[in-house]
Amino acid sequence: MPLISYSFPLFLLILLILYYLGPRKAQGIILLLGSFLFYLGSGPLGLLFLMFAIFSTYFLAIQMGKERAKSQELIKERGLKGKEKREAEAPYRARIRLFLILGLFLNFGMLVFLKYRFFILENLALLFSIPDIQTGMDGNTLFSVLFGSGLLLPLGISYYTFQSSAYLIDISKAKMTPERNLFRYALFVCFFPQITQGPISRYEELMPQLSEPHAFQRDNVESGLFRMLFGYAKKMLIADRVSVLVAALSENPSQYCGVYILLSILSYTLFMYADFTGGIDIVLGAAKLFGIRLPENFDHPFFSRSLGDFWRRWHMSLMRWFREYLFFPLSMSKVSKCLSSFFRKHFGNAAARRVPLYFSSFLVWFCTGFWHGASWGFILWGLSNCVVLLLSQELSPLFQRFRKRFPWTESHGYHAFEMLRTLLIFSLLEMFEYYPIRSIPGLWGSLFFSFRIFELLNGSFPSGIMKGPEWILLLLSTACLVATGFLSQKKSLEERFLEKSQEGRLAILGILFLCVLVFGVYGQGYEASQFVYNQF
Amino acid sequence: MSINKKSHFLRSLWSFVLFFLLFFLLQRLLVPKYMGKVLEGAFTGEYYRAKERHDVLFLGDCEVYENISPVTLWEEYGIRSYIRGSAQQLPSQSYYLLEDALRKEKPAMVVFSVAAMQQGEQTMESYNRMTLDGMQWSRYKIAAIQDSKLPEEHTIEYIFPLLRFHSRWSELSEEDFRYFWNCPSVSFNGYYLRADVRPLQDFPNERPLRNPSLPEVSYEYLDRIRECCEREGIVLLLFKAPSLYPVWHDAWEEQIENYAEKYGLPYLNSLADLEATGIDFGTDSYDGGLHMNVYGAEKLSRYLAPKLREFADLPDGRGLEEQENWEALVKAYEEEKARQEAEFKEIGYIRRFS
């Protein structure tokens, strides 16, 4: 069921009524059934894959828990300590590791197959010169059923795979005991607001909220509604409107000079931000209606003064996942240690410190890029971000000396410059996502050496993209978005909303609702564009 | 309830009232008024304003609302009629418009334009809108929406037209503000008056019919119209207007004749009786033979009137209690006709048709 549809608000309303009017003990079941119903809207086959993820990780976690319990019982019985304890634990740890590997293999295997099979097949075909692979995929064989385009990517598979896998990894590390109640665990995995586009929640932060009963609180419902409407406004007033501009300018980029390319990339950045943060606002707002607080996924990323800072504020739950479950384990793995030893021996300490870090970083950013899209463009996007980050790190001592030498680098003006610089770098690297890779060097060349700002005024701007009032609306709503960004630096918009009187709150909700209804891009004549991140 | 809670409740209630008021004002502003170039969308709603009784109800598409003059029928023959026509009206919509009309009055005769039988399903959403938006809410309107809507349409967009027409905010014109509260009538008892003239022209060659059978769903609703008329004791007359294009195929003619014979219904094909109508396609059409102008419509009405009386007992409505309403209609009709004639004579075309 799409978040932008007539059925979603109706579904939400019915669920809310049942949730608060029904018995408090039944709230979990109501949410679980609602989540299944929500997910069923995307097709019954998708539900099968979701159930597979739930059951496999649930049962494997239980098994891991049993092994741990047996090992602890044995140690306690025999009063083992030190080396004896480690030796006694070894077979149990090995089995726990086996269950973990099995769980990760099954779930990530399913994700890789469903999301990346075309990419893998096409590249294998190129590598081994297999010409007729497309015919095979279009036919009526088992090959075409499995590898053809008929088998669609289940909604939210990247999110629930990451979330359930994180749970499994945490269980294997004994961070918590496995959830015994299958229904509660299922709700953790498939809780409907977050399944479409995150955030990826930790078990220990979400489960207690899903387990405890929630009384109706007007503040939760009103602030949840406010957040949702704000999200709809970002998505429907800004993102869907600016996407038309992006499409027009990126269709045949070689015909445009630098100023239009700059406009295109900044528009794309605006689109990504409004679309993704709008979606997250809807998700967090919807969860808040039920008294559930999901983790924030954005923290004013365009107020960042460096790319590193940016990535600590953008899609925070995904970055946290990669950091905790890929980067740190990689950095502390035997491979990294071997690399470090080798480079220390042959190239010295400086190399020994850097190479494992570079290795882990490249792998993490490769995966980050690949997660975002099954194409070389996305992979290059990830790797190019990694290069810039590592370069920044290497140049960090130089930057520090520069700042010490020139005090004006602490002024607001310089901070503003750093923010703009970060925005530009982010936008430039985003080009890998939506322009053909081969065209990018040329486009960068046009951007820096053929800017021609006066082209904007000589009538060469593509006409018919939007009507005059739509341009004005886009500019006004973007200005409002920037203004709310500044406002929410000191205090979140939600907090400011809750400070208002009852009439003030209702007025804000009413105005937001009417703005979305009247000015939003939806309905006939408009592309029913779903959130960009729904494809993950 | 304590005073605080009561005051709080009242203030919240006021907020909701204001919100709904604003919502409906915005909706009123954004829905199309059909007072400019496209008038057909206003026709359906105008029916409810008619205070007089009608003994004949015409149902169908442009073959009725552009080819028959209720003013001529009344003025010269005393036949009180109304055309519940609309652009590309489906047989299903004709049926529901009939049931809707029966909530208000019971005519002695219903004339159904059989040209609509070729259109089983709707092709464009705008035609649905122009036919259905003007209907008063009843179970017939709901059923009409459910049966007509295209896959991309949603019932909630009919309940709250703001959801459909919200994008008009960037296209609002003077018309939307001028006709914000009410819209004057643009038709004459459902007749779309046009006094411009464009003589008969050559038409493109008609493609051969792939499937000569009229759609099953059209028959389904013709059956319902027939059964409704039988139930209410209303005479149903099937009618084909003298439009030269699109071609009315022999296969369709045969099917309608067979249907009429099977159920004992009168069927009048004025296209086959062109000479008797007196229509001259050099002067009586505004679009080269597709539709009549006012001169053609008046001639066709004179042809039709005696034939209507052959099949139903239609009283002479002249001199009865609603005389004033009819006279006002005639006056407005003659004034508009004169205005259009003068404009057409002066500049060779007509700027507006209301």
Averaged pLDDT, B133-151 = 95
Q: What is the pLDDT of residue A279?
A: 95
pLDDT at B1 over 60: no
Residue A527 predicted with pLDDT over 50: no
| pLDDT of A140 | 58
**% of chain B exceeding 90 in pLDDT:** 75
State the pLDDT at residue B106.
96
Q: Which chain B residues are closer than 8 Å to A503 by Cβ?
A: 11-12, 14-15
Q: What is the pLDDT of residue A526?
A: 44
**Residues 6 or more apart in contact with residue A345 via CB below 8 angstroms:** none
Q: DSSP code of A512?
A: H
Q: Which of A237-251, A313-327, A342-356, A389-403 has the least mean pLDDT? A: A342-356
Residues whose CB is less than 8 angstroms from the CB of residue A100 and which lie 6 or more positions away in sequence, other chains included: A60, A64, A168, A169, A172
Residues on chain B touching A517 (C-beta within 8 angstroms) = 26, 162-163, 166
- Among A467, A514, A524, whose Cβ lies nearest the Cβ of B170? A467
User: Are the beta carbons of A506 and B19 separated by less than 8 Å?
Assistant: yes
Query: What average pLDDT does range B257-277 have in this prediction?
Result: 95
User: Is the CB of A514 less than 8 angstroms away from the CB of B154?
Assistant: no
Q: In this predicted model, what pLDDT tens digit does every residue of A215-225 receive, in sequence order?
A: 999 999 999 99
What is the average pLDDT score of chain A?
89
Instruction: Please state, for a pLDDT cut of 70, what percent of chain B lies above it.
Output: 99
The DSSP element (H or E) to which A247 belongs, if any, is helix A240-250
Predicted pLDDT at A461:
73
C-alpha dihedral sign at B237, B243, B244, B249: negative
Q: Which of residues 168-207 of B touch A (CB under 8 A)?
A: 169-171
Rounded Cα distance, B291 and B289, in Å: 6
Mean per-residue pLDDT, A342-365:
88
- In angstroms, the CA A426 to CA A306 distance is 10
Q: Are A502 and B11 an interchain contact pair (Cβ–Cβ within 8 Å)?
A: yes
Structure tokens at B46: 């105008």
pLDDT at A421 over 80: yes
The reported pLDDT for the residue numbered A336 is: 86
Dist CA A166 CA A324 (whole Å): 9
Residues A354-393: tens digit of each pLDDT: 888 999 999 999 999 999 988 999 999 999 999 999 999 9
Q: What is the mean pLDDT of residues A328-340?
A: 88
pTM of the model: 0.90
| pLDDT over threshold 80, residue B133 | yes
Distance from A232 to chain B by nearest Cα, in Å?
A: 15
% of residues, chain A, pLDDT over 70? 94
- Contact check, Cβ <8 Å, A502/B166: no
* pLDDT above 70 for A150: no
In this predicted structure, the answer to whether residue A531 has a pLDDT above a threshold of 60 is no
By Cβ distance, the residue of A468, A503, A517 closest to B166 is A517
Which tens digit of pLDDT belongs to each residue from A292-311?
999 999 999 999 999 999 99
pLDDT reading at A325 higher than 60: yes
Q: Flag if A470 and B170 touch (Cβ within 8 Å).
A: yes
**Residue B169 and residue A520: Cβ atoms within 8 Å?**
no
Q: Do B18 and A510 touch (CB under 8 A)?
A: yes
Range with lowest mean pLDDT among A173-177, A291-295, A354-358, A448-452: A448-452
Q: Which residue of A has its CA nearest to B171?
A: A469
Is B162 in contact with A518 (Cβ distance < 8 A)?
yes
**Cβ atoms of residues A342 and A367 within 8 Å:** no
Chain A contact present for B19, CB below 8 A: yes
Q: What confidence tier does A148 reach under pLDDT thresholds 50, 70, 90? A: low
For chains A and B, what is the number of CB pairs under 8 angstroms?
Answer: 55
- Give CA–CA dist A299/A307, Å, rounded: 14
pLDDT value, residue A525: 55
Separation in Å, CA A223 to CA A217, A218, A219, A220: 10, 8, 6, 5
According to the model, what pLDDT value does residue A310 have? 96
Biggest CA pair distance of chain B:
83
Region B33-50 average pLDDT: 90
Residue-wise pLDDT for A45-59, tens only, equals: 889 999 999 999 999
CB contact under 8 Å between A507 and B15, yes or no, is yes
Instruction: Please tell me which of the candidates A503, A518, A525 has its beta carbon nearest to residue B26.
Output: A518
DSSP line for A170-190: HHHTTSSPPP--HHHHHHHHH
Residue A451 is predicted with a pLDDT of 81
Q: What are the tens digits of pLDDT across the range B324-342?
A: 889 999 999 999 999 999 9
What pLDDT sits at residue A28? Answer: 94
Partners of residue B171 in chain A, C-beta under 8 Å: 467
Contact A307, A426 (CB under 8 A): yes
Residue range A175-201: average pLDDT?
93
Contacts of B125 in chain A (CB under 8 A): 524
Flag whether pLDDT at B198 surpasses 60: yes
| Pick among B7, B10, B19 to test the A interface (most A CBs inside 10 A) | B19
pLDDT in tens, A70-101: 999 998 888 888 888 888 888 999 999 999 99
Contact A99, A57 (CB under 8 A): no
> What is the average pLDDT across B45-54?
93
- The H helix count followed by the E strand count for chain B is 15, 5
Confidence of residue A452 (pLDDT cuts 50, 70, 90): confident
Q: How far is A244 from chain B (nearest CA, A)?
A: 15
ipTM computed for the complex: 0.88
Q: In this complex, is the C-beta atom of A467 within 8 Å of any C-beta atom belonging to chain B?
A: yes
Cβ B12–A502 below 8 Å, yes or no? yes
B164 in contact with chain A, both atoms CB, cutoff 8 A: yes
Query: What distance in Å separates the CA atoms of residue A444 and residue A435, rounded to the nearest whole number?
Result: 11
pLDDT of residue B217: 95
CB atoms A523 and B166 under 8 Å: yes
At B23, which amino acid appears?
A: F
- B96-125: per-residue pLDDT in tens? 999 999 999 999 999 999 999 998 888 888
pLDDT, residue A528, reads 33
Measure CB to CB from residue B125 to each of A507, A520, A524 and give the nearest one. Answer: A524
Give me the pLDDT at residue B120, please.
Answer: 87
Q: Is the pLDDT of residue B278 over 90?
A: yes
